[in-house]
Chain A
C-alpha cells in the first residue's frame, strides 16, 4: 500500500471510528474504449471503437449531476478509471478496507442486440478483473451481466465464480421485465449455487428496449428522473418476492444499489396484506413476503434518504430489519457521494453503525474475504 502516494492532507479531519469501512459501490470505469475493445470478438470491435453503445447515450441533462470535483484540481471531475484516484480520494481518507468495484456498464440491458450486450459484458469484466482490481489489494470485483440471454449470462457467471476477487454479480435495473420474472431465474440459480449475491444498479431507466422510466411516461428533468428511480427499485423488490425468487432459491441474496431503503417499510405493509388475500397467485411463498425480504434482500445507503427528523430514518431501518441488511456505499466518484463518517444520524447506535459500515458486508461477502485476508497476512509477514 505504501506504493501509492499519500492521500491529500485533509483540512477537515474526519471523525474516526476505530474500525475500517466496507464500501459496496465504487464506479470503476474504463479509461478509454480500447481498454474494452481489445477484449471483444473481432466482429464487435469496430462498432464499439466507434462508440456504439446503443441508446445509452440519450439521457437527461445532468445540470447538477456528474462526478465529485474535490480532487487536487478543484472543479475538475474525479474518475475511477485507475486505482490511484480511488486510493487517494476514497480508500485512504475514509478508512476503507474493502471496496467493491461495481463498474459503469449499466446500459447493457437497454441494448437490442443480446449477443453484442453479452460480449460487452464479458469484455468489461475482463477489464475490471484483469486490469482494474489488480491495481490495489483492497479492491474487489462485481461481474456485470447482460441478462437479455440468460444462458449467456449464466456462462459469464460460471466463468468468473472461482476468481478470488470476484464477490458479486451485478445486473442493471433497467429492464424489459421486472427482475423477478422467471426468465431470469437461471441467473439467480447460478449465482446462488456459486455463493455470489446478485446486485442491481439503476441509471439507464427508460432507454433502449426498456419501457419509459416512469410508468406515466418520460419525465422532463433530471430531478424528476432521479427521484423517480425509486419506482423501479420498488418494482424489482416486489417482483423478486412475489414471483418467488427468494422462496425458490433460499441461498439467493439480492443487493439493491442506489435504490433507497425506507420505501421498504410501506412496501412490506402492502405485500404482507396482499399475500394474505392473493396468495393463490404466489404459490411458492411459504412465509409472508416481509420474512423473505428481511433475510435475503440487502440495501445500500447511498443516496441516503434525508427526512427532516433523522430518528424517522433509524425507525424505518429498525422496522424493516435493517440491522442485518443495510450496507454502506459511497458511490465514488459520483456527484452524490456519501461520507461514511457523516451520513448516519448522530443517534445511530454504535452497534448499528458498525454493522452498516462494516459487518453486514463482511458477512455477506465473507466467503472470499477469509482467503484474501489470510493471503495478505502471509504477504505482510514475508
Chain B
C-alpha cells in the first residue's frame, strides 16, 4: 500500500514527476523542487496529488492561482488534500455577523471537517495549527513545487 516512488496518483496520470535531484529523493532526502506536470492538465477548480518520497502533496488550481500543501491532516493523518473545497464564515467579532469568504480556498478535511486555508495552510479554528505549504512556480508551462522554501500561492501570468 505504501507508495515506493514518487508518482502522480490522480486523474489517470501516472507519469512520475521529474525532480531537480532524482537521486536524492531515492536516498530519502527531498529534492529542491519537483515538477508535477503541465499546468494545462489541471483545470480551474482541479487538483493533483503527488507522492514525493515519503510525503504526499496536493496541488490546487483555484481561479488561476496555484496552491500546494502537505496532504496530511495534523489531526489524525487523513489525506487532507482530498477534502472538499469550499468557503467559510470568517471568525466574527459580533453575534449575527456572517462574513462568507475565502470561497474555493478553504479545504475541509475529509475526516472530521477541520477547515484549512489553502493560502496559509492554517486551520480556521486555531491559527497556530498549520499544514506545510509550498510555493508553486510555472516554468515553460510546467508546474514546479518548491520544496525547500516556505510560502503560499504564486500568481501565474
Contact = CB atoms under 8 A, between A and B. Distances in A.
Nearest to B48: A74
B56 interface: yes
Contacts, number: 78
A286 B3 CA distance: 58
Interface stretch (B23-31, B69-77, B138-146): B69-77
Contact of A335 (B10, B71, B77, B113): B113
Contacts of A12: 56, 71-72, 77, 79
B84 interface: yes
Interface in B55-93: 55-56, 71-72, 76-79, 81-85
A13 interface: yes
A351 B56 CA distance: 32
A11 interface: yes
Contact of B9 (A9, A68, A342, A343): A9
A278 interface: no
A335 B111 contact: yes
Interface string B114-149: 000000000000000000000000000000000000
B110 A68 contact: yes
A110 B79 CA distance: 36
A70 B1 contact: no
Contacts of A44: none
Interface string A276-294: 0000000000000000000
Q: Which one of A64, A74, A336 has the highest number of Cβ atoms from chain B below 10 Å of its Cβ?
A: A74
A343 B83 CA distance: 19
Given A11-B51, A339-B111, A70 B79 contact: yes
A11 B56 contact: yes
B94 interface: no
Contacts of B78: 70, 337, 339
B110 A70 contact: yes
B2 interface: yes
Interface size bracket, B side: 20 to 34
Interface string A147-180: 0000000000000000000000000000000000
A336 B111 contact: yes
B12 to A, nearest CB: 10
Nearest to B60: A74
B111 A74 contact: no
Q: Which one of A8, A10, A69, A93 has the highest number of Cβ atoms from chain B below 10 Å of its Cβ?
A: A69
A10 B2 contact: yes
Contact of B82 (A9, A75, A337, A338): A75
Mostly, the A contact residues are loop
A75 B111 contact: no
A11 B79 contact: yes
Q: Which one of B1, B10, B78 has the highest number of Cβ atoms from chain A below 10 Å of its Cβ?
A: B1
A371 interface: no
B110 A69 contact: yes
A74 B48 CA distance: 9
B150 interface: no
B16 to A, nearest CB: 13
A64 B113 contact: yes
A13 B24 CA distance: 21
Given A70-B111, A74-B83, A335-B111, A11 B76 contact: no
Contacts of A74: 10, 47, 49, 81-83, 110
Interface in A5-22: 7-14
A93 B82 contact: no
Interface in A21-77: 64-65, 68-71, 74-75
Nearest to A306: B75
Contact of B111 (A7, A8, A11, A337): A337
B147 to A, nearest CB: 15
Contacts of B9: 8-9, 11
A260 to B, nearest CB: 15
Given A13-B54, A75-B84, 11 more contacts: A13-B1, A64-B113, A69-B82, A69-B110, A70-B78, A74-B47, A93-B1, A336-B111, A337-B111, A338-B111, A339-B76
Interface of A: 7-14, 64-65, 68-71, 74-75, 92-93, 335-339, 342-343
24 contacts: A8-B9, A9-B1, A10-B79, A11-B71, A11-B79, A12-B72, A12-B77, A13-B54, A68-B111, A70-B79, A70-B83, A70-B110, A75-B83, A75-B84, A93-B1, A335-B112, A335-B113, A336-B112, A337-B78, A337-B110, A337-B111, A338-B76, A339-B78, A343-B76
Q: Top 5 closest A-B pairs, CB basis?
A: A11-B56, A70-B82, A70-B110, A74-B82, A64-B113
